């Protein structure tokens, strides 16, 4: 938990505002208290990550949710960038995509994504992303997650 508020810090790299809303809704449904930074393209993500490497004390996110098809920089570039900096390799990445191609899933996992989430067409299925996030954050923080959600 990166901040002094007890909330998890989550970096969301997603260009679709509806998907950002659904992600935040899923967090709330699973009672995860999170402070989210939303970036809408790969170039913004590179700038953000470079800021973390230049100022290691600034606090890195607890998790990155990365849409595989963001504009301006390919997600493979972003994943390779994360893997090439020791100060960033500890941050788990959940790859997000509407693609059902096995190759996309395999590529994301090969580059270090801890999970590949298919952006489901139904709300109930999309909300399951919250359970996946909870599981990943529980593994990386080593603490049981019983945090209450802050409603926007």
Transcribe 28-82 into DSSP letters: HHTT--EEEEEE-SHHHHHHHHHHHHH-GGG---SEEEEETT-SSS-HHHHHHHH
pTM of the model: 0.87
Query: At residue 133, does pLDDT exceed 50?
Result: yes
d(CA 42, CA 63): 16
Longest alpha-carbon distance in the chain: 40
Q: Band of the pLDDT at 120, cuts 50, 70, 90?
A: confident
Do residues 32 and 9 touch, judged by C-beta distance below 8 A?
Answer: no
Residue whose C-alpha is closest to residue 82's, from 93, 71, 95, 67: 93
Query: Per residue in 38-90, pLDDT tens?
Result: 999 999 999 999 988 887 667 889 999 999 999 999 889 999 999 998 889 99
Please tell me the class of the 8-138 domain.
alpha beta
Contact 27, 142 (CB under 8 A): no
């Amino acid at each position: 938990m990166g901040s002094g508020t007890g909330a998890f810090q989550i970096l969301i790299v997603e260009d679709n505002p509806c998907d950002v809303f659904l992600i935040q809704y899923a967090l709330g449904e699973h009672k995860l208290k999170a402070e989210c930074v939303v970036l809408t393209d790969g170039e913004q993500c590179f700038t953000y990550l470079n800021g973390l490497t230049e100022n290691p004390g600034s606090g890195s996110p607890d998790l990155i949710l990365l849409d595989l098809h963001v504009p301006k920089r390919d997600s493979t570039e972003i994943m390779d960038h994360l893997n090439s900096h020791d100060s960033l390799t500890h941050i788990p990445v959940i790859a997000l995509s509407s693609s059902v191609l096995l190759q996309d899933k395999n590529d994301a996992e090969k580059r270090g994504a801890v999970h590949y989430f298919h952006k489901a067409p139904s709300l109930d299925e999309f909300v399951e992303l919250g359970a996946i996030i909870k599981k990943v954050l529980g593994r990386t923080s080593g603490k049981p997650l019983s945090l209450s959600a802050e409603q926007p």
